[in-house]
Amino acid sequence: MEYVLNEDNACIVKEIIQAIHNNSVYLSEIDGETGDGDHGVNMNKGFLMADVRIKEDDSFSEALKKLGKTLVMDIGGSMGPIYGTFFSKLSRTLRTEEKIDAKLFEEALKNAEEGLMNLAGAKPGDKTLVDTIVPAYESFKEAQEASKGFKECLEALKIGAEQGKESTRDMVAKLGRASRLGERSKGHLDAGATSCCIILQIMADGMIKRMVE
Cβ at position 199, least distance to Mg ion in Å: 17
Cβ at position 50, least distance to Mg ion in Å: 20
Q: In the complex with Mg ion, which residue's Cβ is closer, 44 or 144? A: 44
Q: d(Cα 132, Cα 201) in Å, to the nearest integer?
A: 11
Cβ at position 78, least distance to Mg ion in Å: 9
| Residues touching Mg ion, count (CB under 5 A) | 5
Q: In the complex with Mg ion, which residue's Cβ is closer, 12 or 191? A: 191
DSSP string, the chain: --BEESTT-HHHHHHHHHHHHHTHHHHHHHHHHHS-S-HHHHHHHHHHHHHHH--TTS-HHHHHHHHHHHHHHH--TTHHHHHHHHHHHHHHHHTT-SEE-HHHHHHHHHHHHHHHHHHHT--TTSSSTHHHHHHHHHHHHHHHHTT--HHHHHHHHHHHHHHHHHHGGGPPP-STGGGGGGGGGTTS--HHHHHHHHHHHHHHHHHHHT-B-
Cβ at position 166, least distance to Mg ion in Å: 20
List the x/- string, 27-46, binding to Mg ion by CB under 5 A: ----x---xx-xx-------
Cβ at position 182, least distance to Mg ion in Å: 18
Residues 126-165 that bind Mg ion (CB under 5 A): none
CA 155, 105, 98: angle at the middle one, nearest 5? Answer: 120
To the nearest 10 degrees (0 to 180), the angle between helices 102-120 and 130-145 is 160
Q: In the complex with Mg ion, which residue's Cβ is closer, 33 or 101? A: 33
At 93, which amino acid appears? T
Q: In the complex with Mg ion, which residue's Cβ is closer, 39 or 158? A: 39
Cβ at position 35, least distance to Mg ion in Å: 4
Residues 82-101 that bind Mg ion (CB under 5 A): none
Q: In the complex with Mg ion, which residue's Cβ is closer, 157 or 193? A: 193
| Options 23-31, 84-92, 113-121, 166-174: segment touching Mg ion (CB under 5 A) | 23-31
Q: In the complex with Mg ion, which residue's Cβ is closer, 31 or 62? A: 31
Site for Mg ion, rule CB under 5 A: 31, 35-36, 38-39
